[in-house]
Amino acid sequence: MRRTTEGGTRTMPFILKRTLLARLRRFAGAFLPFVVAIPALYAIERYVAFGGFGLGYLFQNIDHIGIAVILAVSLNLVNGLTGQFSIGHAGFMAVGGYVSAVLLLRGPEEDPYRLFYLMTILAGSGAAAVAGYLVGKPSLRLRGDYLAIVTLGFGEIIRVIIENTQMFGGAIGLSSIPHRADFTWIWAFAIGTIIIVKRLRESTHGRAFLSVREDEVAAEAMGVDTTGYKVRAFVISAAMAGAAGALSGAFEGNLAPQSFTFVRSFEVVAMVVLGGMGSITGSVVAAAVLTLLPEYLRGLADLRMVIYSVLLIVLMLVRPRGLFGTSEIWDYLAAYLRKRRPAPATEVSAPGAAGEALIDVKNATIRFGGLTAVCEFNLRVRPRELVALIGPNGAGKTTVFNLLTGVYPPSEGTISIAGRDTRGLSPHAIAHLGVARTFQNIRLFRELTAFDNVRVACHHLTRESMGAAVRRGELSLIEEEWISERAGQLLAVMGLAHRKDDLARNLPYGEQRRLEIARALATGPQVLLLDEPAAGTNTREKTELMQLIRDIRERFGVAVVLIEHDMKLVMGVSERILVLDHGVTIAQGLPREIQSNPKVIEAYLGEKYAREHAAQIEGKAGRPAETLP
């Protein structure tokens, strides 16, 4: 993912130390878990599992847990972090397992260092990723239950295809697959999965995933390519499930299509939900519990699955948010270890001067069925301008914002932003052009902290790849630092510094509105669209807001387009006013002119009132108002 970075706000003021020692330390930090884990796992296997303690059965269960951990943690990336509900995970596991098994069965007898096996795992994982792409690309347009059903359907189709393919052993399956997977291999992959998902989660990509879960419309408006992120989560998750399949096949020595039915997928979903959606620790623990539970209930023979299902129901009723909610074990550890670093004093600076008109709307019209919501709308916004859009309820003001941000494409007419025609661009692409908005009915990422809400909005200014995020690459470290810095400053500017770590949903109403503005500013916009920022605020807050809007303009050098019903605010702050009624621009001009415009008064107060008070209005205006059709 490459993103352009230009203008004052879009450069990174931090430089990482480039000394050899520092580089080595970073490199070690990136791969340390593996450098330590693999020999340790090997040693455990060599000296404990086969150490003659009779732990064979225990270790077999531990290996099963390892596979379950890979499945649960990878599914958590889709279901928990990205909030997409997939219940076809077993299908991807089957793809990986069968591809790997078929290669293994045709592969060499001897496999020194199991390099060939590693290759088959990668092949299986790659095949599963391709399957994930093919499934995800079309179906991720759907949401919630529908997505769940489609993934379930795809999972079942994959199974039926395998059952009907000679190469995969048909309904009987494949047997005598070489036993290449063992404790070390399974747990190395399990640890790898945990680390990849954890590091992704903590990167800007992770926040993009979370923003998709919280509110897709808002995420898109903040410049997150929501479809892209859903597909990415799906593909990564499928690839990991494929690896789990490859490990499972070479561990058990056989594969049967019956073990990849939707019941298997449900088990994995149960692990994710039971552990807590979005909690990696939770997925790991739940994977262990749900794998061991039926094993150790085996003594109860026929009743074990009955008890298992009752426990599942009871756990769901008693702890609906799962065992761990969204929290992680390392969050608690980090709280102890956190060191406070001095913050460098950098300012969020103004973007460079832009060209002529930032927004240029020509004759935009939009119809919903037979209703023309906005008709022949024209608007030019120059840099640093303060424009207000007013009109009675249902006049089409918010629709204009939705047109500008690409939520709806116009039925007719053109909209250019920073000189570029936005036709065919999705909202996130328009956000990249420098348009940021707030929403009439607040659309924060409710379950994220104030700080993360702002950090999500910095997402599109970053260039780190997902690979870099996982490796803890140089660029990702620089960018993370820069994003945190920027987000901290924006919160401070909006007077929300003390709320940094509070969940957005717990903020009082006025602060939520200001957080929305902070979030919009974090995208580095050239135009800020504010949709009724004063709704529900009292007189004092309105005065403050008026000052704030002026400050934002001065400080960030942005143009502001304001939708507002509060006339005092509108008249006090805006330089130019457009009045909409029933989708038609009935007047535009300076605040003073609008106040005395008969058409505007008629729209607001009705024809009768306008006629009766005509003389009074004329007198007050002093001169006839200038109107534009």
Partner 1 sequence: MTDFFQHLVDGVSVGAIYALIALGYTMVYGVLKLINFAHGDVFMIGAMMGWYASARWTSEARHPSIWGALGITVFAMIVCGLLGFAIERLAYRPLRNAPRINSLITAIGVSFLLEYGGQYLFGPNPRSFGVLPHKPPLQIHGVSLGYVDLVCILVSVALMFILQRVVFHTRIGTAMRAVSWNPDVAGLMGVNTDFVISFTFVLGSVLAAAAGILYASKYPSVHPLMGLMPGLKAFVAAVLGGIGNVPGAMLGGLLLGLAEQFVAGYGNSSWRDAVAFSILILILLAKPSGLLGRTAAEKV
The footprint of partner 1 on residues 191-230 (CB under 8 A) is 217
CB of 413 to partner 1, least distance (A): 20
467 touching partner 1, by CB under 8 A? no
Answer for which of 1, 24, 157, 628 binds partner 1 (CB under 8 A) is 157
Counting every residue written for the chain, the total comes to 629
CB of 141 to partner 1, least distance (A): 8
144 touching partner 1, by CB under 8 A? yes
279 touching partner 1, by CB under 8 A? no
172 touching partner 1, by CB under 8 A? no
156 touching partner 1, by CB under 8 A? yes
Rounded Cα–Cα distance for residues 160 and 482 (Å): 50
146 touching partner 1, by CB under 8 A? yes
277 touching partner 1, by CB under 8 A? yes
Beta sheet of 435-437, edge-to-edge order: 435-437, 527-531, 559-563, 386-390, 576-581, 584-589
User: How far separated are the first and last CA of the chain, in Å rounded?
Assistant: 45
308 touching partner 1, by CB under 8 A? yes
Q: Which is nearer to partner 1, 177 or 444 (CB)?
A: 444
Closest CA to 555 of 514, 510, 525, 511: 525
269 touching partner 1, by CB under 8 A? yes
Instruction: Return the bridge partners of 561, or none.
Output: 387, 529
604 touching partner 1, by CB under 8 A? no
Q: Which is nearer to partner 1, 22 or 305 (CB)?
A: 305
Q: Which is nearer to partner 1, 315 or 577 (CB)?
A: 315
503 touching partner 1, by CB under 8 A? no
Closest CA to 626 of 599, 601, 602: 599
**What is the b/e burial string over 592-603, where b = at least 16 CB atoms within 10 angstroms of the residue's CB?**
ebbbbbbbbbbb
Compute how many residues bind partner 1; rule: CB under 8 A: 45
- Cα torsion 474, 479, 480, 483 to 10°: value is 170
* Sequence letter at residue 602: E
Answer for which of 32, 43, 134, 306 binds partner 1 (CB under 8 A) is 306
The footprint of partner 1 on residues 405-444 (CB under 8 A) is 407, 439
Which span sits near partner 1 by CB under 8 A: 2-10, 12-20, 69-77, 261-269? 261-269
91-130 footprint of partner 1 as x/- string (CB under 8 A): ----------------------------------------
142 touching partner 1, by CB under 8 A? yes
Rounded Cα–Cα distance for residues 55 and 71 (Å): 25
541 touching partner 1, by CB under 8 A? no
Residue 273 zone, left/alpha/beta (φ > 0; ψ -120 to 50; rest): alpha
Which span sits near partner 1 by CB under 8 A: 143-151, 228-236, 355-363, 379-387? 143-151
CB of 233 to partner 1, least distance (A): 16
The footprint of partner 1 on residues 70-89 (CB under 8 A) is 79, 85
Token couple for 559: 């143009």
Instruction: Return the bridge partners of 362, or none.
Output: 414
φ and ψ of 359, to 5 deg: -120, 130
The sign of the CA dihedral 28, 33, 37, 38 is negative
Token couple for 180: 């290449």
Q: Which is nearer to partner 1, 303 or 614 (CB)?
A: 303
φ and ψ of 580, to 5 deg: -110, 145
Checking DSSP bridges between strand 359-368 and strand 527-531, what pairing results, if any? unpaired
Distance of CA 28 to the CA centre of its chain: 29
Rounded Cα–Cα distance for residues 37 and 184 (Å): 9
CB of 516 to partner 1, least distance (A): 14
φ and ψ of 416, to 5 deg: -115, 140
Answer for which of 32, 303, 353, 614 binds partner 1 (CB under 8 A) is 303
Which span sits near partner 1 by CB under 8 A: 52-60, 95-103, 152-160, 507-515? 152-160
Which span sits near partner 1 by CB under 8 A: 52-60, 306-314, 488-496, 519-527? 306-314
Answer for which of 44, 119, 122, 161 binds partner 1 (CB under 8 A) is 161
Contact criterion met (CB below 8 Å) for 107 and 170: no
* Sequence letter at residue 489: Q
CB of 71 to partner 1, least distance (A): 16
320 touching partner 1, by CB under 8 A? yes
Rounded Cα–Cα distance for residues 404 and 437 (Å): 10
Q: 503: burial class by Cβ within 10 Å (0-12, 13-18, 19+)? A: middle
Which span sits near partner 1 by CB under 8 A: 54-62, 231-239, 299-307, 521-529? 299-307
For residue 619, count other CB atoms closer than 10 A to its CB: 10
Contact criterion met (CB below 8 Å) for 265 and 152: yes
Q: Which is nearer to partner 1, 270 or 374 (CB)?
A: 270
Answer for which of 15, 115, 313, 335 binds partner 1 (CB under 8 A) is 313
**What is the b/e burial string over 320-338, where b = at least 16 CB atoms within 10 angstroms of the residue's CB?**
eebbbebebeeeeeeeeee
Answer for which of 72, 190, 196, 274 binds partner 1 (CB under 8 A) is 274
- Residues 6 or more apart from 55 whose CB is under 8 A from it? 48, 49
262 touching partner 1, by CB under 8 A? yes
CB of 79 to partner 1, least distance (A): 8
Summarize as ranges the residues that interact with partner 1 (CB under 8 A): 79, 85, 138-139, 141-142, 144-146, 148-150, 152-154, 156-157, 160-161, 163-164, 217, 262, 266, 269-270, 273-274, 277, 302-303, 305-306, 308-310, 312-313, 316-317, 320, 398, 402, 407, 439
